Structure formats: C-alpha cells, structure tokens
Amino acid sequence: MQKIIKDDRSYVWHPYASASDKNPIYPVKKAKGTYIYLETGEKLIDGMSSWWCVINGYNHPRLNKAIKNQISKFSHVMFGGFTHKPAVELAKKINEITPASLQKVFFSDSGSVSVEVAMKFAVQYWHSQSLIKKKKFLTVKNGYHGDTMGTMSISDPVNGMHKMFEKSLLKQFYVSSPESIEDYKRDKSRSLKEMETKLIDKHAEIAAVVIEPILQGAGGMRIYHPDYLSQLKKLCKKYNVLLILDEIATGFGRTGKLFGFKHAKIVPDILCLGKSLTGGYMSLAATVVSKKIAKSISNKEPGIFMHGPTYMANPLACSVAIENINLLFSYKWEDKIKNIEKILKIGLKKISKNNAIKEYRVIGAIGILEMKDKVNVSSIQKKFVEHGIWLRPFSNLIYLMPPYIISQKDLKFLLNQLENVINLEY
C-alpha cells in the first residue's frame, strides 16, 4: 500500500492539485454498491457518487454484464464510416426520454467536450442562417461548464477556477447569476432585467445563452427558481438566440426530475448530457440538437459538422449507458429521490445549527452545507475517512450527492457522521 502512495506521489498528477501535493491520498481496493473499500481496510459510504456519476452504485451486476457482453464482440471501432448497435440504440433511447423536438445525438468523451460541441453547433447554425456575426455566448456568473478552453470562457471568470487563463480565452458576455429561490420570490426583476438588457444590446452577436438548469454546480451549488428558466426561454425566443442547457450534473434524476429543465417545463435548443449517463462505468457524453438546427447545418455549405473524437460512441460506453438508463427506469427512482431529499432536509437542518455553517440547501438527491469560511479539505477529509464516509468539499461548500440506491440506514449514517466530523472540525 505504501508503494502505491509513493509511486503515486512520484508519477501521478491529480485533479485540482499541485504536482507536489502533500494532501492525504487513499488507495482504493474495490467498490460495491454504495461502499468504497480502501487498501488500508477502511470501508467508506460514498456520499459523492464519484463526482455525481455513480447513480446506481458500484459493481452492479447488470452493468457489469452489459460491459462483458460487448467486450466479447468488440471494444472499439472508429465511428467515421461505421456504426454499431450500441450507439444506435443509445441515441434512440436518448430520443425517447428527451423532448420530441430534440433529435440528433452527437457522442463525445466527456461533459466538457459535449459543451464545446454545443457551442460549435450554435455558431455553425447561425452561419448556416447567414448570420455570421452571431458567434459569442451569453451566460451567468457563478457557472461552471468544464475545464477545456471553450468551456472555460463561459465559466465564472472571477469566482471560478480559470482566472489565470482569462487573457487566453475568448471574451463572452456575462450577467448576474439567478437569485436564490427566496430572493426570486421577493423580486424576480433584477437578474432577468439584466439578462434582457444584455440581449437587447448584444443579441446580434450572441449565438446562444448557456446555463445549468435549476442548479449551478461546481460554481457554487446554487439552487434557483424554475420560473427563471421559463422566462429565460421566452427571452431567447424573443431575441433570436439559442438556449443551450448543460445537464451534465443535473441530468438523469439528480434534482428530482429526469432533467433539470423539466422543473420549468421548457425545451432547450441544444442539450448536453454526461456524468450519470453510463452510471460511472465509462467516460461518455452526448450533445443533443433540435431537428431545426440539424437540418439547417446540413443544408448549408459545407453541410458537415467538423468535430469527431477518436473514441466517439465507444461501444463499451454506449452498451453500459443503455443498461444504466434501463436500470434507472426499472425501479421507482422518483420515489427514491424524494426519500433521499426528505432525509437530507432533516439531517442538514439539524447539522446547520453549528455556528460555522451559513446555510443549508437541498434539492432532489443533492444536499449542500455552505460554510461561513473556506473548508480545510485535507483536515476534514481525513476525519471523514476515520468516520467511515467519503465526501470531497470544495471552497466553502460541503455537499452530498449519494447514489440513488443508498439505503435509509446508510444515508442516516452518512449524515450522522458528517455531523460528528463538523462538530470536531469546528
């Protein structure tokens, strides 16, 4: 075990970390259901779904079988000039669960790339309409859409992680983020008025508005009112810009609806999916575009879309994604999410009495503690492991996104141990 850690320190660069990072690192031996087992013998309840993707738990027999069945046939084949059953079936499945106006599915490797693809689709669509000046994007502050160059340009430039790259990025348009639900109920005019003012002024240059529906994820875990999305859709239509919804984090039931935009009963022009798509088994994402966009791009020179990841529509990933979606619909996932939401509200309300906590927020299978000060991740994570739970805070946020299959007993244990750790740390 010590050799693993030593070699890791020598050769591996971890996410959002220094190359000489000295924070604790925990070698994983195996994972099953909602549990992660460490080489050192600890058994941890996963409260993160491995960055929000393992919705049906680890090492699920149905998902394992889907991978094994496909790998016995072929694990990969280029998607240029070829097609295969898993890709076709998955595209059809996505069509079945998304609005009828969305049709064509473009597969890629990760959520960040799916948003990049969406941005390229938007620009090329307006080019096909002979509106070539519409090539910029409008978004809101405190958003996060990925770490690639295009997505960095539409992620929060001040409070986000990409400030040092600011002068290397394309300049986009920003307005204030949506208010909290309570603030929106009191006065919904500020953020929407700012959005409309920017659209009035710059709509001739704007290809699309890009936003995370209902929940702003890694930019601050902010929950906002569904009516904001409804009004935003109207503004996009009024000022002739597309609406791109980034459902990487919110898709496949996480907020209590199958997709975040269903809270507002709207339909995007372009939809980005990822994370939970394969249940945490393989890296796969999808960008779904409307029939109108697909037809316009295809009927205008050059008539093709210039993007093609090497591992696009990987058969293993597509196979497990199909089974993961089928598995989700095989049980009453909505009831499970409602139950998780109820337990999270009770538990976090109790925990939030600690004076170090500013407030708590819950939506669906997402629970958030906003601390008054930045969290010492190294210190608190060590205590989490000692107490048998796995959470990964960032900035001043401690949040929970457990697998949907988590038992009430394990979820309550997770919350109880979280309370114990917070009381020790603060």
Which residues make Cβ contacts (< 8 Å) with residue 232, sequence separation at least 6? 192, 195, 209, 211, 243
Which residues make Cβ contacts (< 8 Å) with residue 149, sequence separation at least 6? 165, 168, 169
Helix (H) or strand (E) run with residue 190 in it: helix 189-202
User: How far is it, in rounded angstroms, from Cα 24 to Cα 36?
Assistant: 16
Bridge-partner residues for 35, per DSSP?
32, 45
Residue 284 sits at the vertex; the CA angle it makes with 263 and 7, to the nearest 5 degrees, is 120
Task: Determine contact, residues 176/191, Cβ cutoff 8 Å.
Answer: yes
Task: Determine contact, residues 44/392, Cβ cutoff 8 Å.
Answer: no
- Kindly name the residue from 156, 246, 269, 410 that is annotated as catalytic: 246
Task: Determine contact, residues 195/232, Cβ cutoff 8 Å.
Answer: yes
Task: Determine contact, residues 282/70, Cβ cutoff 8 Å.
Answer: no
Helix (H) or strand (E) run with residue 174 in it: strand 173-175
Residue type, 179: E
Per-position DSSP letters for 54-122, written without gaps between them: -TT-BS-HHHHHHHHHHHTT-S---SSS---HHHHHHHHHHHHHS-TTEEEEEEESSHHHHHHHHHHHH
- Kindly name the residue from 58, 144, 399, 404 that is annotated as catalytic: 144
275: annotated active-site residue: yes
- Kindly name the residue from 6, 7, 16, 331 that is annotated as catalytic: 16
What b-and-e string marks burial along 288-307, b requiring 16 or more CB atoms within 10 Å of the CB? bbbeebbebbeeeeeeebee
Length of the chain: 426
144: annotated active-site residue: yes
Task: Determine contact, residues 162/169, Cβ cutoff 8 Å.
Answer: yes
- Kindly name the residue from 104, 134, 141, 275 that is annotated as catalytic: 275
246: annotated active-site residue: yes
Token pair in block for residue 101 = 């106006």
Which residues make Cβ contacts (< 8 Å) with residue 102, sequence separation at least 6? 95, 267, 268, 271, 288, 289, 290, 291
Token pair in block for residue 34 = 């909602």
16: annotated active-site residue: yes
Point out the residues that are catalytic: 16, 144, 246, 275
